[in-house]
Structure 1
Amino acid sequence: MARPNKQKKYPKNGRANEKRKAEEEEQKRLRERVEQYDPAVDEASLAQFSDLPITQNTLKGLKDSAFVSLTEIQKKSIPVALKGEDLMGTARTGSGKTLAFLVPVIEILLRNDITEFDGLAALIVSPTRELAVQIFEVLVKIGKYNSFSAGLVTGGKDVQYEKDRISRMNILVGTPGRISQHLNESVGMETSNLQVLVLDEADRCLDMGFRKQIDNIIKHLPPTRQTMLFSATQTDSVQDLARLSLVNPKKIGSSSDSDVSAVPESLDQYYVKVALNEKLDVLWSFIKSHLKSKMLVFFSSSKQVQYAYETFRTLQPGIPLMKLYGRHKQTSRLETTMKFSQAQHACLFATDIVARGLDFPAIDWVIQVDCPEDVATYVHRVGRSARFGRSGKSLLMLLPTEEEGMLKRMKLHKIEPKFMNIKEKSKKSIRPQLQSLCFKDPVMKNLGQRAFIAYFRSVYIQKDKDVFKVDELPVEEYAASLGLPGAPKIKIKGGEANKNKKNQSRQLLQLSKSNDNGDPSDQPAKVRTKYDRMFERKNQTILSDHYLNMTKAKDAAEDNDDDDEDGGFMTVKRHDHDLNEQDLPDLSLPVSKRQAKKALSRKATLASKGNPTKLKFDDDGVAHALYELEDEEDFIKAGDAKQQKQDFVTKERETMKVQDLADKDMERQKRQEKKRKRKEAERQFREEAQYSDDDDDDRESIPDLERDMEPKADTDGKKRSNWFDEEPASKKQKSHDKFVEYNEPETLEDLESLAATLIGN
């Protein structure tokens, strides 16, 4: 329900007064057009945004953003929303729902003469951060010629920074959790003048566990507001939410739009039947054969996204790889979203967090590695491609146990993807590479184990047991396909409770943990300073819990395997070794001088006990001697002793020949390097002599470096050093411009000889 218009006051300036009157007349004409609008008659005449009763500033912003033609949902919803009526819209993915509510929001605020001093007038709630950022960017583009102030509030950003500025915002876009937090905590969050509330992707908000946050938001808002609710599907929970927040809403959307089978018409749909242990091989082969494409790959859990991203990035398929999931940092998520939107050829591994509302330009393929939980999720996933009439393709990987049930449910919604056959010659196995990665890197092995457990948990919690049959999955084969030496133990817990816990307020969670009884009202919570938070931080690679579990030994690993969530990964096996008391040293005090001398004398100890023996332990904890002799029987089986000796000598001789060739080659390179340095020194000396003063009569002629490299005997029988004087040798005073050439010292004797030569001269 819309609020009544405010009384307008004209400024005293004449020119501003005329401008204000013109704006009022324009608003009056637009209001008359809106009141006279009849959907049954006038809807067919609407084709472009210029046909709508909206202001010129909004039309200019739409035109600058290349929004000209109206989509079906925009034709039906914008005129109804401009009338001030509550709206409940349903449309297929990629149909332009964002503009269907942003254009009415701007026009409603203009009609009610909202300024920056009027506070919050429009609130837009979105389920994910990425979708909220996308809505805010579109709002900034189309509303740049209006004077409203708009803000974006999402999780992962500085709360205090938002609190200081939220009181000056007219339009606020955000996620349910952060908006609910500001309504409870921010002093400047005043909602008494709110004109319109928009709930975008309401079904997704409820599916993600934000029901309590949305109820809290609605309680803080005035009842005399206009509400617009947009959803891709009409579920029972959405109907309940509509009854609580909307008053006599107008339902927009044809029967085909409200059906979950409303996939884009320009989308080519395919599916393949793949065994669980071959999924990564098929995905790798598909990426390698489509390096000039833009792909979006869906997994069922974030752990699978991390493992696939890290392993594929190490193997380098030849295309930029990216990852996106819920528990990423805010800056990383926004950076990944922007990079993937701007990339021409890239592959993004993601969870269902990007399955709703996000508009990535020109996606060629949508690949679903894991089966979606229902047909609606399938529709939203494939809807990332073939948007706004563009062409696109989708590929669904189904297990043999999922094929019949999932295709049957898709057929009920008139979705029939085509079967695609995989050629064996085009499929390449990466299992050996994954095994090598997990063997060399414990962190990679831990990621593989977590991905294994996360997949089985995701299948276990699915409601449709006719499609998802966790008991029929090949456990050991799937673990081997991930490169793991064995299948980790799986402990299933949580489910819906984990989802609610994930979306719970962290401050309330910390408050409950601080009390022994878990009731925040029993006793006051401990005040946590910034220093407490600083010391609680952990390096995600070094000090995380799973890494500490890898590096520390557990005394009772075998007894506590059931309590280890990750299956007792990297625990040290304890073995009880048999101890011989005769071999233990005598630690009793000596009773005589002879015993004391023997105990303190190393020679006496070796004489009685023999030389010490060094032991080494294998992976099973068994001790072995450092050098073990071969058994006599094995030696005899190998053949004649003389022949074995001859073979060994021959083998070593061949090895020495190869090494001699390498040494000779290295010596030859050293000689060539010496010769090159000598030639370079000669060239430099000649250049200096060429550019020196020609009038210097005392200058000596250029010496021959080839001749003077070695010391030569003078007439008196003494040796002459390799110094080249700028002045005649008859002069006793030595010049400071002399230099000596020498070979680079290779031994300690060469270094001492060089030092003596320098000191003596």
Structure 2
Amino acid sequence: MSFTSLGLSDALLKAVSIQGYSQPSPIQRKAIPLILERKDVLASAQTGTGKTAGFTLPMLQILSQQPALRHRPVRALVLTPTRELAAQVYSNVKDYSAFLDIKSAVIFGGVNQNPQVSALRQGVDILIATPGRLLDLHNQRLLNLNKIEILVLDEADRMLDMGFLRDIKKIMALMPSKRQNLLFSATFSKDIKALANDILNHPVLVEATPENTTVEKINQQVYHVNKTDKPDILVKLISDGDWEQVLVFTRTKHGANKLTKKLISSNISALAIHGNKSQAARTKALHEFKKGDIRVLVATDIAARGLDIPLLPHVVNFELPNIPEDYVHRIGRTGRAGASGIAVSLVSADEKTYLRDIEKLIGMRVESDVISGFTPDPNASTEIEKPQRQQRSQQRGSKPTGNGEAKSSNNKNRNNRRRFNSNSNRRSE
């Protein structure tokens, strides 16, 4: 099947061709015709399988078939959980609308709002936004959502994890009840299905791949190690393997900064990206990593979604996530668009429970080994400290901190979040 058979316009087909795509992915083949029929869609697909184009292309087709209104009110809204994902979606919308009379803009926190306000005043057909900045600008009466025809929730499960459910409900109330709703997610949890029941109207369920499966082309490897040996082991793997582009995940911001310093002291160029970094610093780090100016990007889970890095060869879990679904999103940064990739996890004794949870989720045992010269202590404690095993419900109850996407409503809420974040090993980014 080609893109031509999906009913897309010549202008869109030309834009798709320029981007180098000739055959639609499974999620695109299934979702695009349904969206063009104006159905509400609940779609799940692995990260890196083209789901952004799965909603962007039909959305552009629908909007372009109607004459643009004089003042160009926002007619389509795409909500994303992170700034990086918002920027990526915006880039895709611009690429695919190159030959259409469609204007788009992106808004997110952590940066000056004035350029974003200026773009809105010039008229926007498609708006890509994070929830916090969207509500902020709406409360300032700088944008209106009463003409929305299409709503897209991208990476909806991540939005729930980051505590955006209340903001999402506020945004729902600002839009016309009669609209097309599209919910795209890498996983289908019970919470996602509950959200879908609230906002979707007789949705069509689309699953391009089994829930929470990992990309087959990713070579997954586990090394059992002592926790204290992890920094030296990572340096050895990168140096001995001559790895030139490596995305490394830690669980905390402090851990990311500490590891970055260790790599730099070992003559390995590295930068960290996490929620305490300014947007300018995050953008700069990602840009230098993509260009190859630095070898290693050390990230917290804020980077697990929304980072489109073509042909990224190596992902390393310096620390396993304590939410098994996050493992799928992390390693999904490699093995994208049909390319192969390697995902390495350094697992200490206290992370073995996390590993079992991950293997249960993905339905397979990951090949494990030890590294010569770094034999793990067989008597090391496998006990996990209680704060590391916070329940998902607690995390959803916490608003994101340190990322500029949302603001606390009062000092009590802010103090509650501080107490939560000091007790939780998995930080909301």
TM-score bucket (shorter structure): 0.7 to 0.9
Work out which of the two has the higher radius of gyration on C-alpha atoms and give 1 or 2. Answer: 1
Q: Quick one: distance in 2 between partners of 1:180 and 1:258?
A: 35
Match of 1:126 among 80, 83, 94: 80
What one-letter code is carried by the residue in structure 2 that aligns with 1:176? Answer: P
Match of 1:71 among 18, 21, 25: 25
1:230 aligns with 2:184: yes
Match of 1:287 among 220, 233, 238: 238
Measured at CA, do residues 371 and 501 of structure 1 come closer, stay the same or move farther in structure 2, by a change above 3 Å? closer
Q: Quick one: distance in 1 between partners of 2:88 and 2:405?
A: 25
Query: What CA deviation, in whole Å up to 9, does each residue of 1:446-497 have, x standing for no partner?
Result: xxxxxxxxxx999723248xxxxxxxxxxxxxxxxxxxxxxxxxxxxx9777
1:364 aligns with 2:313: yes
**Structure 1 gaps, min length 5:** 1-46, 428-455, 465-493, 519-564, 566-761
1:275 aligns with 2:226: yes
Query: What CA deviation, in whole Å up to 9, does each residue of 1:640-688 have, x standing for no partner?
Result: xxxxxxxxxxxxxxxxxxxxxxxxxxxxxxxxxxxxxxxxxxxxxxxxx
1:323 aligns with 2:277: no
Match of 1:214 among 163, 168, 192: 168
1:460 aligns with 2:387: yes
Measured at CA, do residues 118 and 336 of structure 1 come closer, stay the same or move farther in structure 2, by a change above 3 Å? same
Q: Quick one: distance in 1 between partners of 2:139 and 2:245?
A: 43
Match of 1:302 among 253, 256, 259: 253
1:182 aligns with 2:137: yes
Shift of 1:246: 0.8
Match of 1:385 among 334, 344, 366: 334
Q: Quick one: distance in 1 between partners of 2:72 and 2:100?
A: 15
Measured at CA, do residues 116 and 399 of structure 1 come closer, stay the same or move farther in structure 2, by a change above 3 Å? farther
Percentage identity across paired residues of the two chains = 27
**Deviant stretches of 4+, over 3 Å:** 456-459, 494-513
1:199 aligns with 2:173: no
Match of 1:259 among 201, 208, 211: 211
Shift of 1:408: 5.9
Measured at CA, do residues 68 and 238 of structure 1 come closer, stay the same or move farther in structure 2, by a change above 3 Å? same
Q: Corresponding residue for 1:89? A: 43
Measured at CA, do residues 379 and 505 of structure 1 come closer, stay the same or move farther in structure 2, by a change above 3 Å? closer
Match of 1:170 among 121, 125, 137: 125
Q: Quick one: distance in 2 between partners of 1:511 and 1:378?
A: 33
Residues 325-724 of structure 1 correspond to what in structure 2 (within 5 A)? Answer: 325-343=274-292, 346-403=295-352, 406-407=355-356, 409-411=358-360, 413-424=362-373, 460-463=387-390, 499=399, 505-506=406-407, 508-509=409-410
Shift of 1:509: 3.9
3-state secondary structure, aligned to 1:105: helix
Q: Quick one: distance in 2 between partners of 1:81 and 1:218?
A: 20
Shift of 1:285: 1.5
Measured at CA, do residues 231 and 224 of structure 1 come closer, stay the same or move farther in structure 2, by a change above 3 Å? same
Shift of 1:315: 3.4
Match of 1:112 among 53, 56, 66: 66
Q: Quick one: distance in 2 between partners of 1:217 and 1:293?
A: 43
Q: Quick one: distance in 1 between partners of 2:366 and 2:337?
A: 21
Normalising by structure 2, we get a TM-score of 0.87
If each structure's strand is expressed as a fraction of its own residues, which one has the higher value? 2
Query: What CA deviation, in whole Å up to 9, does each residue of 1:48-100 have, x standing for no partner?
Result: 21222121111111111112210000000000000111111001121100000
Shift of 1:501: 6.0
Shift of 1:357: 3.4
Q: Quick one: distance in 2 between partners of 1:92 and 1:213?
A: 26
Q: Corresponding residue for 2:425? A: none
Q: Does the Cα contact within 8 Å between 1:273 and 1:403 map onto a contact in 2? A: no
Q: CA RMSD for the aligned pairs?
A: 2.8
What one-letter code is carried by the residue in structure 2 that aligns with 1:263? Answer: T
Higher normalized contact order (CA 8 Å, seq sep 6+, divided by chain length): 2
Q: Quick one: distance in 2 between partners of 1:357 and 1:501?
A: 18
Give the number of equivalent residue pairs: 407
Of 59-68 and 294-303, deviating more is 59-68
Q: Corresponding residue for 1:718? A: none
Shift of 1:248: 0.4
**Structure 2 gaps, min length 5:** 377-382, 416-421, 423-429
Q: Quick one: distance in 2 between partners of 1:214 and 1:497?
A: 14
Q: Quick one: distance in 1 between partners of 2:66 and 2:84?
A: 30
What one-letter code is carried by the residue in structure 2 that aligns with 1:78? Answer: I
Q: Does the Cα contact within 8 Å between 1:116 and 1:149 map onto a contact in 2? A: no
Measured at CA, do residues 408 and 170 of structure 1 come closer, stay the same or move farther in structure 2, by a change above 3 Å? closer
Query: What CA deviation, in whole Å up to 9, does each residue of 1:222-277 have, x standing for no partner?
Result: 011101000111112211211121100111115xx2411x1111111110111111
Shift of 1:117: 2.1
